[in-house]
Amino acid sequence: MRDLSNDNVVHVKGKNCEYLQFRRLLEYNGVLKHAYGLKPDNYRTKGKNLTEEDFNKAVNSYKNLCESIGVDYKNLVKPTQNHTNTIKCVSTLEGYVLGKDNKYMDTDGLVTNQAEIVLGTSNADCILLMFFDPVKMVIANVHSGWRGTFQKIAINAVDKMVKEYGCNPKDIICCICPSIRKCHFEVEKDVRDMCEEIFRYTNQIDNIIEYAGNKEGTEKWYIDTVMINKIMLKDAGLLEKNIVDSGICSICNSDLIHSYRVEGKGYGLCTAVVSMKANVIL
């Protein structure tokens, strides 16, 4: 299997699964545990027709990923994502969360200052953002598809960290997991126009949106949602040096990373997990 390591991420090939870790977050490895799981040990876990076999595969996938980095998968809290801009705080160990009874339904971001809680999100082209404030000891895990990006969920996450836990945006580190990139995020006029209307204030529309040409009678454009998130994070007060991008496109690397646009209806999901250890003072 190819190695996806670069200046910002390390590709770890473990016994039971393979995953990426951010070099910046590994600087806090004594207190912080994190990973972004790769194929094949991730399975489709979304939908009303989830079979018992699918469920068991998902549990085993999460278990392998969590155990690989030394956290308890039973402490995993994972929202039922629905392309919202909703961020919720997690205050207690609630065990493995998956299914219709999930109290985090229609939620796309979780925040906590509690040790041992494992925050999880999943993607198949969408952006996942892992946040860590090493001063206030707060973590967040956020799913930001293009709809969430247009709803500015990244700003909501930072605001939640500031208002609920007293974080200073200048202390917050945000790592951007593999996702679809501008080279492949092709949209039609309706999404293109929406993007321009929302983000015109940035004065960077010419960099965010690129004309892709007329394809089979339909005009198309490429949109850089990663760039949009970087702009929003800086607007929210994060320092540029604390915004760390994996730089990896899910479609360009679909042999290792799940992609809805490549896999179609039977798509799988990659999972990002982040957790803090107990009784550690930086």
For residue 123, the model assigns a pLDDT of 95
CATH architecture entry for 9-181+238-276? 4-Layer Sandwich (3.60)
Residue 240 has pLDDT above 60, yes or no: yes
| C-alpha to C-alpha distance for 282 and 279, rounded to whole angstroms | 10
Share of the chain above pLDDT 90, in %: 81
| C-alpha to C-alpha distance for 124 and 225, rounded to whole angstroms | 15
Task: Tell me the pLDDT tens digit for each residue of 65-102.
Answer: 999 999 999 999 999 899 999 999 999 876 555 555 57
Give the strand pairing for 109-112 and 87-89. Answer: parallel
Strands in 87-89's sheet, in edge-to-edge order, are 87-89, 109-112, 138-144, 127-133, 173-176, 243-245
Backbone angles phi, psi at 43, to 5 degrees: -135, 160
Residue 135 has pLDDT above 80, yes or no: yes
Share of the chain above pLDDT 70, in %: 92
Residue 40 has pLDDT above 80, yes or no: no
For residue 241, the model assigns a pLDDT of 98
Mean pLDDT score of the chain, rounded to an integer?
A: 92
For residue 47, the model assigns a pLDDT of 47
Domain extent listing, the chain = 9-181+238-276
